[in-house]
Amino acid sequence: MRALIRAAAWPQNIRVLSQRWTPSRAVQLTFWLHGGFVIGLVLWPATWPWLLAAIIVNHLLLGAIGMWPRSSLLGTNLSSLPVSCKHNRYVAVTFDDGPDPDVTPSVLEVLDRYAAKATFFCIAQRAARYPELVREIVLRGHSVENHSDRHPAAFAFYGPLTLYREITNAQRTLSEMAGSTPRFFRAPFGLRNPFLDPVLAWTNLCYVSWTRRGFDQVSRRPDKVLARLTQGLSAGDILVLHDCSSPLRSHNKSVVLQVLPALLDHIVDRGLRPVSLPMAFSSQSIGSADA
């Protein structure tokens, strides 16, 4: 994947090298297919059912790809850290869907105990309700990044203008709350469509998914969540948890708060260092990352 950003003067200035959007091969193929559809209608109008069927299949395939969170077929997608971060024994622990007054403060306390730094992909409207939590995240040396304005369930079905509004509204809110501009974006539920990549290019954001996730929002079993995060864990991995309240609790406690200390113990025991995304990219360009 193309180089997107080079970190400089961390944490405020991760500056973009190029804002020009380069379509992925899947999107380029879609452009050619639609062009062929028009030409085919002109030259062989009787074949329109077959041409239309090809377009429908193409759109179904694009939709299926958008449901694959770690895919790079729709555009740049950081699902792991670059090789240089692996040499430094870095791992990135990330949290989605916060901030939450019942969970985020406890998460911050656990991170402090381990001198661990993390990345918080915040929902902007939640951040606006709890600005003191956003400031506390930054004060403790963590990163606040963009997880959309409202976390809409239909995010993956939005057109480019709606995506642009959703993302830029979040950028304005989070920048004001955190005192620095987010440079990374993660889609709600990790689902997206072909319009997202050009919107992120226009808004100077880098798309991030994950190497492994614990499904802590859908499981009451902390042991299972921990196993998903630690099985095969290695330098360069990006892990995702959630710092928000969930109706699924174990022993009347959020699953994430039961998993996080054991996860950090495992990370330390393996000689790995949990860092925020800006820290990981503070001295080099973001290059390719395997999906």
- What residue ranges in 130-289 does DSSP mark as E strands? 143-146, 184-185, 206-207, 212-213, 238-242, 249-250, 253-254, 273-275
Residue that is written with structure tokens 């330390």 in the block = 268
CB 122 within 8 A of CB 158: no
Kindly name the residue from 142, 147, 151, 242 that is annotated as catalytic: 242
The DSSP result for 58-110, as a single string, is: HHHHHHHHHT-TT--TTS--BSB--HHHHHTTEEEEEEEEE--TTTHHHHHHH
Known active-site residue 149: no
Q: 215 versus 66: which is more confidently predicted?
A: 215
Query: Taking the CB of residue 223, how many other CB atoms lie within 10 A of it?
Result: 12
The residues, ordered by sequence, that sit 6+ positions from 185 with a Cβ below 8 Å of its Cβ are: 121, 145, 146, 147, 167, 200, 205, 206, 207, 208
- Does the structure show a pLDDT above 80 at 20? no
Question: 28: which 2 tokens?
Answer: 């380029």
- CA-CA distance, 142 to 39, in Å (whole number)? 53
pLDDT at residue 68 is higher than 90: no
> For the chain, which residues make up each domain, given as ranges?
25-66, 83-280
pLDDT for residue 247 is more than 70: no
Whether residue 233 contacts residue 263, with contact meaning beta carbons closer than 8 Å, is answered with: no
In this predicted structure, the answer to whether residue 5 has a pLDDT above a threshold of 80 is no
The residue with greater pLDDT, 70 or 13, is 70
* Residue 121 per-residue DSSP state: E
Catalytic residue among 59, 96, 237, 243: 96
| Residue 250: band (very low, low, confident or very high) from pLDDT cuts 50, 70, 90 | low
pLDDT, residue 206, reads 95
**Distance between CA atoms of residues 236 and 227, nearest Å:** 18
To the query of whether residue 96 is one of the catalytic residues in this protein, the response is yes
- Name 31's Cβ contacts closer than 8 Å, sequence gap at least 6: 23
3-state DSSP call for residue 268?
helix
Distance of CA 244 to the CA centre of its chain: 16
Cis peptide before 101 (omega within 30 of 0): no
Res. 284: pLDDT tops 60: no
pLDDT of residue 19: 58
User: Which of the residue ranges 2-11, 66-75, 86-95 would you say has the lowest mean pLDDT?
Assistant: 2-11
Quote the CA–CA distance of 191 and 228 in Å, as a whole number. 20
Q: For the residues 136-156, what does the mean pLDDT come to?
A: 97
With CA atoms as reference, report the closest residue to 137 among 120, 121, 150, 125. Answer: 120
Share of the chain above pLDDT 90, in %: 65
Handedness of CA 115, 91, 155, 250 (dihedral sign): negative
Q: Using 50, 70 and 90 to split pLDDT, how confident is the model at 65?
A: confident
Pick the CATH number of 83-280 from 3.20.20.370, 3.40.50.2300, 3.40.47.10, 3.30.540.10: 3.20.20.370
- Minimum mean pLDDT among 83-97, 136-150, 173-187: which range? 83-97
